[in-house]
Amino acid sequence: MENKEYLILSSMYKKIFKDKKNIYPNEWYNVKEYELKNKILKECIENKILIINSSLYYEFRLYSLNS
């Protein structure tokens, strides 16, 4: 189940990249690991980077492949 923090962070992330398409990787919605997603979104918001450029994206990809 999604948590409030995730929803807030996701909204902030969307605002930063409102003019871009495909700001979420394909596997983003298949993974329910919201603690990791929150960390990724925080990093992306702080540094104004896309999820795929996050330092935690590799870890997320591994989690996604093993789910």
Element (H, E) at 40: helix 34-47
| Residue 2 pLDDT exceeds 90 | no
pLDDT tens digits, 5-33:
999 999 999 999 999 999 999 999 988 99
Give the number of domains in the chain: 1
Radius of gyration of the chain (CA): 11
How confident is the model at residue 67, as a pLDDT?
76
pTM, whole model, 2 decimals? 0.92
Domain containing residue 52: 4-66
Overall size of the chain counted in residues: 67
